[in-house]
């Protein structure tokens, strides 16, 4: 019998009927003849098997004496109830049963005679629960452990039914062996506080140190519907489906309705767009039968006929027991066809409604007629509240995700300043008068130090114009070649004029590209040339030539897009790489001191940093943090230049970059512009900083026509001697680290519309592969400088 028990137990289990036999002895002495005679006869039969009293440890004795045991237990297992009750003899919490009622036997047979195991019940739980049984029975404690225990048993159709297990232990005795350890009140209290410490329980209740003698009675209650509802609630509450979790919503519904081929679907109703859509989450395994292979469907369609109106307007359940018969009713043909194409013969569509607002539709379908109908549709009322809450949560989660995407992609608020926006929003929520118009306080950060930098693609406008001209010229020459080599087109009277005009445009492209030249040529080709090339009189040999030409055109512009594409691709690759490097390095920079950071992709990558006490009021700000951030900015631009040097070899179009830093030592104020949803400098004086920032990269060295920025070089623009001294120290340090070349250029910058006195340092980045792996630290810099 031991192979049927758990591996370890505090009990030495002995199956015995001694208590029942004692009660039979009392009946044998009674004055009621028929009862007395029956008891005496049965006792005589039992005497042949002394183990019934002393205890059975060999399960084969039970197998050999089934009939006697059945007679002995007749009062506890009435024959009249054997087809109704689900009952058997057992040992509490063990997976052995015998003397089963007919209904119990039928359930196990339909399941394929499987071994019964208690759901979610392991060896450790069994051991602790057995110990609790000892504490309650022998030590007279009142520990309450009411975890419901279930058997999950499939029926003949494979539908899982859930049976609640009830135990009767009236015929069991528990007493200690010599190995049992007596427990003090303090030890019992220790166990009370350590339910999960299985080692402690085994220490206090050694293996087989107690005797469990007798038998228990197990009664099963069919709790399939209740368990299905509970499982469904648990399933619906999960944010994400666990890969190992095989309790799917569809299996739960199958158990609930007892329909083996039941399938479920959900369609979400989008009130704003008046559409049905599928569940909005990637991990949702539930589709929709209404939408079939579509992701969404307009609700204004008449495809579902009167049925749709019943769902949307009246918010009532639709139950169709026979889809084929339903389709013969005028107006239902389209809906029935949609269902029959998916092998749906009966179905239920129930609207999910909260506060008279339609959230979605639960779709239950079966491939068998009459399985789903208006009668069992009422069962959905038991689980609809859970589904309502779930769909409402889905909708809330979806809105939160949408809001998060909008903030991240369109109106992102940097984490360093998020606290101030949050405080203002909380003030609004806690104000207590939400119906009154609330004037939101402007978000301003005063006394912050700005840092501006950029890595710019040199001559991007010139490169762009040259590639446009190259594509236009190649297209014109390609057209001229077709016109000259085509025999069927040569016969057209206007051909010579068109060739002349095409050559004129080609010559025009040798000059500087005007703003409207591209548009003029595009219009001319579309209106004057393409109609000729698509002429129906063109012979077969010319068609192949013309087909090759049209395949070379961009689908949108109908122009050549070869050289320009290489330029655009190269520009995109540079911008993406530079942005990735900057964002990655910025994560480290935040550890210096929290500061505001934003970047923009243009013809290169620009960034703004603002650091100061007002951005992180809970931390002590020192100018040392500004100095550290300035060094970080300079060395990050070095790294971006080096990354471009590596990337340059793989670009489809060769492009160079130059870098620029604008130094501004006076603190300024920045204000969040509500209309533009971005920060900007605040005040007239601070506007000078913005003027310089917008014009500085196009500036020249004073008295020359040379731009202050050059490829593979970093230009640092400043105003004060102290700034020059500071940055020369940084440069010296980075030269020591072999990031910058030894030569340093210093010059004055031309006047910029009222802004004068600007100076600049220019230095080249040392482009070696070793530098790409160079590490540097702020601590080393400080040690070097001091």
Tell me the domain boundaries of the chain.
2-222, 227-401, 460-560
The tokens of 237 are what? 């509450």
CA distance 462 to 513: 10
**Partners of 553 in the beta sheet?**
560
pLDDT value, residue 449 = 93
Q: What angle do CA 361, 313, 362 make, to 5 degrees?
A: 10
| Alpha-carbon span 429 to 408, nearest angstrom | 23
When computed from its CA atoms, the radius of gyration of the chain, rounded to whole angstroms, is: 42
The encoded tokens of residue 116 equal 């019964």
> Under CATH, to which class is 227-401 assigned?
alpha beta
Taking CA atoms, 79 is separated from 85, 90, 99, 275, in Å, by 10, 19, 12, 60
Tokens of 293: 């292979």
Spatial distance between the Cα atoms of 772 and 770, rounded to a whole number of angstroms: 5
Q: What is the mean pLDDT of residues 34-45?
A: 84
Contacts of 736 (CB under 8 A, 6+ apart): 784
Sign of the Cα torsion 431, 434, 436, 441 reads positive
**What would the mean pLDDT of 349-374 be, rounded to a whole number?**
87
Rounded to an integer, what distance in angstroms lies between the CA atom of residue 677 and that of residue 654?
36
pLDDT at site 677: 66
Q: What angle do CA 15, 20, 22 make, to 5 degrees?
A: 115
Q: Give the contacts of 287 (CB within 8 A, at least 6 positions apart).
A: 265, 278
pLDDT of residue 275: 74
pLDDT tens for each residue of 661-686:
999 988 888 887 766 666 767 666 56
DSSP string, 496-563: HHHHHHHHHHHHHTTSPPPTTHHHHHHHHIIIIIHHHHT-TT--HHHHHHHHHHHHTB-TTT-SB-SH
Judged by DSSP in three states, 484 sits in helix
Least confident of 112-126, 247-261, 328-342: 247-261
Three-class SS of residue 393? helix
- pLDDT at residue 494 greater than cutoff 90: no
Mean pLDDT in residue range 27-39: 79
Scanning the structure block, which residue is given the tokens 């404690």? 141
Q: Tell me the pairing of strands 668-673 and 678-681.
A: antiparallel
Q: How far apart are CA 499 and CA 356, in angstroms?
A: 71
pLDDT at 773: 46
> Rounded CA gap, 90 and 756, in Å?
98
Sheet order of strands, 97-98 included: 97-98, 87-90, 216-222, 160-168, 150-154
Report the C-alpha gap between 4 and 96 in whole angstroms. 6
pLDDT-derived band at 768, boundaries 50, 70, 90: low
Higher per-residue confidence, 505 vs 708: 708
How would residue 245 be classed by pLDDT, with cut points 50, 70 and 90?
A: very low
The answer to whether the beta carbons of residues 597 and 418 sit under 8 Å apart is: no
- For the cut 70, the answer to whether the pLDDT of residue 385 exceeds it is yes
The chain-wide mean pLDDT, for the chain, equals: 82
Q: What is the DSSP string of 279-323?
A: -SSTT-----TTTTT-SEEETT-STTHHHHHHHHTS---EEES-H
Q: Is the pLDDT of residue 644 over 90?
A: yes
Residue 33 burial by Cβ neighbours in a 10 Å radius (0-12, 13-18, 19+): exposed
Residue 528 is classified by DSSP as I
Between CA 424 and CA 134 the distance in angstroms is 60
Confidence of residue 199 (pLDDT cuts 50, 70, 90): very high
Per-residue pLDDT band for 75 (boundaries 50, 70, 90) equals: confident
Residues with Cβ within 8 Å of residue 574, at least 6 apart in sequence: 457, 604, 644, 647, 651, 655, 657
Which contiguous run of DSSP H or E holds residue 337? helix 333-340
pTM exceeding the 0.85 threshold for the entire prediction: no
Query: Does residue 740 register a pLDDT over 90?
Result: yes
Of 366-375, 420-429, 525-534, the one with minimum mean pLDDT is 420-429
- 457, 604 contact by CB (below 8 A): yes
Burial (0-12, 13-18, 19+ Cβ within 10 Å), 676: exposed
Average pLDDT over residues 519-529: 86
List the one residue out of 348, 352, 331 whose CA is nearest residue 271: 352
pLDDT digits (tens, 9 = 90+) for 402-420: 666 555 554 556 677 777 7
Tokens in use for 409?
């992609």
Residue with tokens 């001559």: 459
Give the pLDDT band (50/70/90) at residue 155: confident
Share of the chain above pLDDT 90, in %: 31
């Amino acid at each position: 019998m031991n192979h049927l028990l758990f591996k370890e137990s505090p009990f030495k289990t002995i199956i015995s009927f001694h208590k029942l036999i004692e009660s039979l002895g009392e009946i044998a002495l009674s004055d009621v003849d028929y009862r007395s005679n029956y008891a005496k006869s049965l006792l005589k039969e039992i005497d042949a098997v002394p183990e019934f009293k002393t205890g059975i440890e060999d399960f084969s004795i039970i197998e050999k004496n089934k009939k006697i045991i059945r007679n002995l237990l007749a009062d506890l297992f009435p024959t009249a109830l054997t087809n109704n009750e689900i009952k058997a003899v057992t040992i509490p919490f063990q997976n052995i049963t015998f003397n089963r009622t007919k209904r119990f036997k039928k359930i196990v047979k339909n399941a394929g005679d499987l071994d019964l195991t208690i759901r979610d019940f392991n060896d450790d739980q069994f051991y602790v629960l057995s110990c609790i049984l000892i504490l309650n029975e022998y030590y007279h404690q009142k520990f309450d452990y009411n975890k419901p225990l279930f058997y999950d048993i499939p029926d003949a159709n494979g539908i899982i039914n859930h049976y609640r297990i009830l135990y009767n232990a009236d015929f069991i005795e528990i007493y200690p062996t010599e190995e049992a350890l007596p427990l003090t009140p303090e030890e019992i209290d220790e166990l009370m506080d350590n339910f999960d410490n299985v080692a402690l329980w085994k220490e206090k209740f050694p293996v087989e140190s107690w005797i469990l003698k007798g038998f228990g009675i197990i009664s099963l209650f069919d709790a399939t519907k209740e368990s299905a509802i509970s499982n469904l609630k648990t399933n619906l509450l999960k944010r994400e489906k666990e890969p190992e979790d095989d309790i799917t919503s569809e299996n739960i519904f199958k158990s609930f309705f007892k329909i083996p081929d039941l399938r479920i679907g959900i369609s979400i109703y989008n009130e704003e767009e008046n559409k049905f859509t599928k569940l909005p989450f990637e991990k949702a395994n539930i589709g929709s039968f209404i939408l079939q292979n579509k992701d969404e469907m307009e609700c204004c369609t008449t495809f579902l006929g009167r049925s749709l109106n019943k769902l949307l307007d009246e918010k009532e359940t639709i139950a169709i027991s026979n889809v084929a018969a339903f389709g013969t009713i005028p107006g239902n043909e389209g809906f029935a066809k949609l269902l029959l194409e998916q092998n749906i013969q009966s179905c239920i569509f129930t609207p999910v409604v909260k506060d008279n607002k339609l959230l979605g539709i639960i779709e239950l379908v079966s491939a068998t007629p009459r399985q789903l109908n208006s009668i069992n549709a009422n069962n959905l009322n038991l689980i609809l509240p859970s589904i309502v809450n779930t769909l409402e949560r889905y909708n809330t989660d979806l809105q939160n995700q949408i809001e998060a995407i909008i903030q991240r992609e369109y109106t992102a608020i940097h984490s360093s300043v998020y606290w101030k926006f949050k405080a203002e929003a909380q003030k609004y929520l806690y104000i207590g008068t939400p119906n009154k118009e609330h004037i939101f306080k402007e978000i301003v950060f005063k006394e912050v130090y700005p840092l501006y930098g950029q890595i710019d693609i040199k001559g991007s406008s010139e490169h762009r114009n040259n590639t446009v001209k190259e594509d236009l010229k190649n297209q014109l020459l390609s057209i001229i070649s077709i016109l000259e080599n085509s025999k069927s087109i040569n016969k057209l009277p206007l051909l010579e004029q068109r060739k002349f005009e095409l050559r004129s445009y080609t010559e025009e492209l040798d000059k500087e590209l005007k703003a409207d030249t591209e548009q003029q040529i595009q219009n001319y080709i579309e209106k004057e040339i393409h109609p000729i090339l698509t002429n129906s009189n063109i012979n077969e040999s010319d068609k192949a030539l013309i087909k090759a030409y049209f395949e070379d055109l961009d689908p949108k512009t109908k122009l050549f897009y070869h050289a320009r594409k290489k330029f655009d691709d190269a520009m995109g690759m540079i911008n993406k790489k530079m942005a990735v490097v900057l964002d990655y390095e910025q994560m480290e920079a935040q550890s210096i001191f929290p500061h505001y950071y934003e970047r923009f992709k243009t013809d290169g990558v620009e960034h703004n940093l603002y650091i100061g006490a007002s951005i992180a009021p809970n931390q002590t700000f020192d100018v040392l943090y500004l100095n550290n951030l300035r060094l970080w900015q300079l060395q990050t631009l070095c790294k971006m230049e080096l990354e471009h040097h590596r990337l340059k070899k793989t670009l489809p179009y060769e492009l160079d970059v130059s870098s620029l830093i604008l130094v501004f030592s006076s603190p300024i104020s920045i204000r969040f512009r509500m209309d533009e949803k971005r920060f900007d400098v605040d005040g007239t004086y601070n506007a000078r900083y913005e003027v310089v920032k917008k014009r500085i990269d196009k500036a020249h060295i004073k008295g020359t026509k040379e731009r202050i920025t050059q490829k593979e070089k970093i230009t640092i623009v400043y105003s004060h001697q102290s700034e020059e001294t500071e940055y020369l120290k940084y440069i010296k340090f980075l030269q020591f680290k072999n990031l910058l070349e030894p030569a340093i250029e210093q010059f004055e910058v031309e006047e910029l519309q009222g802004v004068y006195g600007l100076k600049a340092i220019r230095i080249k980045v040392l482009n070696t592969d070793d530098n790409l792996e160079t590490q540097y630290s702020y601590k080393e810099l400080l040690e070097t400088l001091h």
